[in-house]
A and B are shown apart, each in its own frame.
Chain A
Amino acid sequence: MALPRTLRRTSPITLVLAGLLAIGFLLFIISPSSNADAVSTAKRKLTNAASHPLSPPTAPFVKQDTSVEARNKPPPVVHYHLNNVTTTADPITNEETVLILTPLARFYQGYWNNLLALSYPHHLIALGFIIPKTKEGNAATLALQAAIASTQTGPEAKRFASIIIMRQDFDPPLQSQDEAERHKKENQKTRRAAMSRARNSLLFTTIGPSTSWVLWLDADIVETPPTLIQDMASHDKPVIVPNCLQRFTNGEGKADMRPYDYNSWQDSQQAADMAANMAPDDIILEGYNDMATYRTLMAMTADKSDGRDTRAIIPLDGVGGTALLVKAEVHRDGAMFPPFAFYHLMETEGFAKMARRLGWGCWGLPNYFVYHYNE
Chain B
Amino acid sequence: MRTLSLGLLAPAVAGPELPLETVRYYDLSNSDGTARGWEREERVLMCAPLRDAETHLPMFFGHLRNFTYPHHLIDLAFLVSDSKDNTLNLLNQLLTELQNDPDPKQPYGEISVIEKDFGQKVNQDVESRHGFAAQASRRKLMAQARNWLLSAALRPTHSWVYWRDVDVETAPFTILEDLMRHNKDVIVPNVWRPLPDWLGGEQPYDLNSWQESETALALADTLDEDAVIVEGYAEYATWRPHLAYLRDPYGDPDMEMEIDGVGGVSILAKASVFRAGVHFPAFSFEKHAETEGFGKMAKRMQFSVVGLPHYTVWHLYEPSVDDIRHMEEMEQERRNRENEERERAERMKKIKDEFNDPGSEWEKDKNSIEGISQQEDQIRKEHDAAMADKEAKDQDSTGKPAKETSDETVSKETKDTKEATDTKKVDAKDAKDIKEVIDAKDTKEIKEDKASKDAKDTKEVKEDTTSKDTKDTKEVKEDTASKDTKAIKEIAEDKDVKDVKVVKEKEA
Contacts and interface: CB of A to CB of B under 8 A. Distances in A.
Contacts of A180: none
Contact of A75 (B19, B22, B109, B272): B109
Contacts of B155: 54, 56-57, 205
Contacts of B280: 334
A182 B180 CA distance: 38
A82 interface: yes
Contact of B26 (A29, A34, A165, A209): A165
A276 B280 CA distance: 26
Interface string B106-117: 011111111111
Contacts, number: 213
Contacts of A248: none
A102 to B, nearest CB: 15
A340 interface: yes
Contact of A46 (B20, B23, B104): B20
A31 B9 contact: yes
Contact of A204 (B19, B143, B151): B151
A265 interface: no
Interface in B82-105: 92, 95-96, 99-100, 104
A41 to B, nearest CB: 9
A52 interface: yes
Contact of A78 (B18, B112, B156): B112
A153 interface: yes
B7 interface: yes
Nearest to A65: B19
B109 A54 contact: yes
Contacts of B25: 165-167
Given A31-B3, A77-B111, A79-B115, A336 B22 contact: no
Interface residues of A, number: 75
A67 B365 CA distance: 95
Interface in A216-273: none
A35 B100 CA distance: 42
A156 B29 contact: no
Contact of B10 (A39, A74, A79, A358): A39
B24 A76 contact: no
Given A43-B13, A54-B109, A334-B282, A200 B276 contact: yes
Interface string A80-98: 1111000000000000000
Interface string A35-55: 100110011011001001111
Interface string A317-337: 000000000000001111011
Contacts of B115: 79-83
A334 to B, nearest CB: 4
B28 A30 contact: no
Interface in B285-300: 300
B90 to A, nearest CB: 13
Q: Which of A33, A35, A60, A80 has the most CB of B within 10 A?
A: A33
A77 B114 contact: no
Given A168-B28, A201-B275, A204-B277, A76 B111 contact: yes
Contact of A201 (B276, B279, B283, B300): B276
Interface residues of B, number: 70
Contact of A166 (B28, B110, B111, B153): B28
A339 B277 contact: yes
Nearest to B71: A74
A339 B273 CA distance: 12
A337 B282 contact: no
Nearest to A38: B14
B4 interface: yes
B264 interface: no
Interface string B13-47: 11010111111111111011000000000000000
A201 B28 contact: yes
Contacts of B20: 45-46, 49, 60-63
Given A57-B156, A78-B111, A34 B2 contact: yes
A205 B156 contact: yes
A163 B25 CA distance: 9
7 contacts: A31-B3, A35-B14, A60-B21, A76-B99, A204-B150, A204-B151, A333-B282
Given A28-B4, A29-B6, 18 more contacts: A29-B8, A31-B3, A33-B10, A42-B14, A61-B20, A74-B99, A77-B99, A78-B112, A82-B114, A152-B22, A153-B16, A200-B277, A204-B150, A205-B26, A334-B147, A334-B282, A336-B277, A338-B277
Closest 8 pairs between A and B when the two form their complex, measured CB to CB: A33-B7, A74-B107, A200-B277, A169-B28, A54-B110, A32-B10, A82-B116, A209-B152
Interface of B: 2-10, 13-14, 16, 18-29, 31-32, 72, 75, 92, 95-96, 99-100, 104, 107-117, 143-144, 147-148, 150-156, 158, 272, 274-277, 279-284, 300-301
